[in-house]
Structure 1
Amino acid sequence: MASFVAGAPTMAMGSSALPLITHAPRLKLSRPSHAIGNYGWSSSNWSGYAVTNGPYTQITGSWIVPTVTAGHGSTYSSAWIGIDGFNNSDLIQTGTEQDYTGGSAQYSAWWEILPAAETVINEPVAPGDQMDASIVNDGNGVWTITLKDVTEGWTFTTNQDYSGPGASAEWILEAPTIGGHVATLANYGETTFNPGTVNGGANPDFTTEDGGVMIQKNKQVSTPSVPDSDTDGFNVAYGPTAPSAPAS
């Protein structure tokens, strides 16, 4: 079942010019090749923060759409919030895509419930836009996904069936999966996730143990800051150097 505000979505695979994009569960590194400092985890496709004291029935998050720059070949990045996927194969999520393909930067919005690929939201997205998102369990297996572009002035809502356990909640900068393979992360510069809440507006109380770094080809390619002073937000930057935390 689905209801929509601000335009019906189309599947990313609906155009032959677009690759099949999936936002996969966290892919653990069997042999982490870099010290990850005080962070609690590392991954080949995720960086950011995740909390695992579920069950979680609600998550909210806000982020700034980052600006991508050219790399070697096609590169991809996604910013999103979601429930599940940290230690299981379920995942409900919504976010933005920031890719560099065909010689230019490409930006879009989407929602997804695995095992399906992303569903593109046909609304404008630009670097620097403020995004507000929420995913809420309405009961009886129905969840409401809402994504709002505050800068562009549109809101999208869909109601979907989801039966995952709600074991984790996360705020992630990801290298998505393209045609079954983890993409090379785009150089997205730096962005901010702030604030985030869980379960009716509760503070997620981030600690650095909840944070994780992304490692690709033995290089640390995405690194979050320590949590901000009120423990509900963080910055995340391309490369191995942790940025400063947001002011609050």
Structure 2
Amino acid sequence: MPATRRSSLAIAAALLAVAANTAPALAASAPAVPNAPMIPSGSAPHLVGPHGEILHSSSSNWSGYATTGAKFTSVSASWVQPTATCDGNDSYSSFWVGLDGDGSDSVEQTGTEVDCSEGSPLYSSWYEMYPAYPVNFNDAVRPGDHFTASVTAGDGGSFTLKLSDTTQGWSHTVKKTLSNAALASAEIIAEAPSDASGPLPLTNFGTVDFTGAKVNDKPLGSFNPDNITMATNGSTLATTSPITDSKDFSVSWKRSS
């Protein structure tokens, strides 16, 4: 899918600025690397359910669950911020809930991130009304923090994006407007953020557990959502577990690129 993304040079400059002014393990904000619409990898066929719904697909930048085929006006979930394992190479990962992006060119989303810069992890949080660039929150994010996030669409193209760190005790509620949002999908995703060349190397985040996932105020599992594997060039980068209790699942890192 077409997307306008920041250049690698801009990302590198931002990384250096952050590294120079924040403690690496507890960085309040990381570079604003865009999270983009789902990019189908084409490396695996769709599995289709009895009513024509897509049950499994492959993407080069997303892993998690997405649901389509109706109008979606709300999505929410909780997760624990994963701990990054950095190997000296720069890498990136984000965890979020959002509307749109699966089959559309806009995404309304909020979540957290952990990037690796020169061997050190940078933890951060943000919201994004893609194709606009993401906006970072300034609050500290630590591995092990418990997060709850939601995106809700209202009348006239209005959106309310809420992200809460219940461990640190901070919360942000952002109200934005996007008049042309399709409201054609809802998702809970672990992502490899992108620059101008496409998806960047995926940070080793281990496993992230998403819990209490709801879409349109109903359990995620009631929508027969699409289980998405992140894969590129025949290599699996991250896998998504089955849904349990209609609302809980995990995404596990496999390799960076």
TM-score when normalising by structure 1: 0.83
How many Å separate the matches in 1 of 2:115 and 2:82?
10
The CA RMSD over aligned residues, in Å, is: 2.3
Between structures 1 and 2, the one with greater helix share: 2
Deviations 1:79-138 (A, max 9, x none): 000100011111100010111112201100000011112100111111111110111123
Contact 1:49 1:206 in 2 (8 A): no
Aligned ranges 1:121-200 → 2 under 5 Å: 121-163=137-179, 164-199=181-216
Deviations 1:23-78 (A, max 9, x none): 00000123439x9xx95100000000111132011111111111111136101110
Contact 1:52 1:167 in 2 (8 A): yes
- Please point out which of 14, 18, 21 is paired with 1:17: 14
* Superposition deviation, residue 232 in structure 1: 1.0
State the match for 1:73 in structure 2: 89
Paired amino acid for 1:17:
A
How many Å separate the matches in 2 of 1:14 and 1:182?
13
Contact 1:41 1:209 in 2 (8 A): no
Deviations 1:194-230 (A, max 9, x none): 111122x2112268762110013421010011111x2
SS of alignment partner, residue 82 of structure 2: coil
In structure 2, do the counterparts of structure 1 residues 233 and 142 end up closer, same or farther at CA, with 3 Å as the change threshold? same
Aligned length: 223
How many Å separate the matches in 1 of 2:196 and 2:71?
31
Query: Following TM superposition, where does structure 1 have runs of at least 4 consecutive aligned residues deviating by more than 3 angstroms?
Result: 13-16, 206-209
* Superposition deviation, residue 20 in structure 1: 4.7
In structure 2, do the counterparts of structure 1 residues 14 and 46 end up closer, same or farther at CA, with 3 Å as the change threshold? closer
- In the alignment, is residue 237 of structure 1 matched against residue 237 of structure 2? no
Structure 1 regions of 5+ residues with no counterpart?
1-12, 241-248
How many Å separate the matches in 2 of 1:80 and 1:93?
7
Paired amino acid for 1:23:
N
Quick one: percent identity of the two aligned structures? 35
